[in-house]
Chain A
Amino acid sequence: MDGYNFAYLDEQTKRMIRRAILKAVAIPGYQVPFASREMPLPYGWGTGGIQVTAAIIGLADTLKVIDQGADDTTNAVSIRRFFARTTGVATTERTADATIIQTRHRIPERSLRADQIIVFQVPIPEPLRWLEPRETETRKMHALSEYGAMHVKLYEDVARHGRIATAYDYPVMVGGRYLMRPSPIPKFDNPKLDRSPALQLFGAGREKRIYAVPPHTEVYSLDFEDHPFEVQKWEQACALCGAGDSFLDEVIVDDRGGRIFVCSDSDHCGERRAAGHVGAQPDALGQPADKVAP
Chain B
Amino acid sequence: MYVAVKGGEAAIANAERLLAEKRRGDPAVPELSTAQIEQQLGLAVDRVMTEGSLYDRELAALALKQACGDQLEAVFLLRAFRTTLPRFGASEPIDTARMQVERRISATFKDLPGGQVLGPSFDYTHRLLDFSLLATGGEPPPPAPLGEAEPESMPHVLAMLDREGLIESEIDRRPDAPVPDITRDPMTFPADRAARLQGLARGDEGFLLALGYSVQRGYGRNHPFAGEIRFGAVEVEFVPEELGFAVSLGDVAVTECEMINQFKGSATEPPQFTRGYGLAFGHCERKTMAMALVDRALRARELGEEIDSPAQDEEFVLYHADNVEASGFVQHLKLPHYVDFQAELVLVRGMRRAAEAAAQRARPLAVAAGEE
Q: Which A residues contact B (CB, under 8 angstroms)?
A: 4-5, 8-10, 33-40, 42-45, 47, 67-70, 72-75, 77-78, 81, 104-106, 123, 133-136, 161-163, 165, 167-169, 184-188, 206, 208, 232, 234, 247-255, 264, 285-286, 289-292
Cross-chain pairs A/B with CB under 8 angstroms, 24 sampled: A4-B84, A36-B186, A37-B83, A38-B83, A39-B83, A43-B329, A44-B330, A44-B331, A68-B339, A73-B6, A77-B8, A77-B9, A165-B351, A167-B344, A168-B339, A169-B340, A184-B340, A185-B339, A188-B343, A232-B343, A250-B342, A285-B2, A292-B8, A292-B13
B-side interface residues, number (CB < 8 Å): 53
Residues of B within 8 A of A134 (CB): 315
Which of B6, B190, B342 contacts A72 (CB under 8 A)? Answer: B6
Also in contact, A70 and B342, with CB within 8 A (given A45-B328, A75-B335): no
Q: Which residue of A lies closest to B11 (CB)?
A: A74
Which of A44, A136, A162 contacts B329 (CB under 8 A)? Answer: A44
Residues of A within 8 A of B188 (CB): 33
B4, B8, B188, B331 — most chain A CB neighbours (10 Å): B8
Q: Which B residues contact A (CB, under 8 angstroms)?
A: 1-13, 76, 79-80, 82-84, 86, 183-190, 315, 319, 324-325, 327-332, 335-340, 342-347, 350-351, 354
Also in contact, A168 and B9, with CB within 8 A (given A8-B84, A38-B83, A161-B351): no
Residues of A within 8 A of B86 (CB): 10
* A276–chain B nearest beta-carbon distance, Å: 23
In the complex, the answer to whether A289 meets B339 with C-beta atoms within 8 Å is no
In the complex, the answer to whether B328 meets A44 with C-beta atoms within 8 Å is yes
Q: Which residue of B lies closest to A37 (CB)?
A: B83
Which of A69, A254, A289 contacts B8 (CB under 8 A)? Answer: A289
- Total contacts A to B, CB within 8 angstroms? 169
In the complex, the answer to whether A289 meets B342 with C-beta atoms within 8 Å is no
Residues of A within 8 A of B331 (CB): 42, 44
Distance in angstroms between the alpha carbons of A86 and B102 in the assembled complex = 45
In the complex, the answer to whether B332 meets A105 with C-beta atoms within 8 Å is no
Also in contact, A292 and B328, with CB within 8 A (given A10-B86, A105-B340, A168-B343): no
In the complex, the answer to whether A67 meets B335 with C-beta atoms within 8 Å is yes
In the complex, the answer to whether A232 meets B351 with C-beta atoms within 8 Å is no
Beyond the given A35-B184, A186-B340, please list 9 additional residue pairs across the A-B interface where CB-CB is below 8 A. Answer: A34-B186, A42-B324, A43-B325, A72-B6, A123-B329, A167-B346, A167-B347, A168-B340, A264-B339
Residues of A within 8 A of B83 (CB): 37-39
A167, A249, A289 — most chain B CB neighbours (10 Å): A167
Which of A4, A39, A186 contacts B339 (CB under 8 A)? Answer: A186
Also in contact, A247 and B12, with CB within 8 A (given A40-B80, A168-B344): no
Distance in angstroms between the alpha carbons of A32 and B329 in the assembled complex = 21
In the complex, the answer to whether B80 meets A38 with C-beta atoms within 8 Å is yes
* A246–chain B nearest beta-carbon distance, Å: 12
* B334–chain A nearest beta-carbon distance, Å: 9
* A183–chain B nearest beta-carbon distance, Å: 10
Residues of B within 8 A of A253 (CB): 1, 3
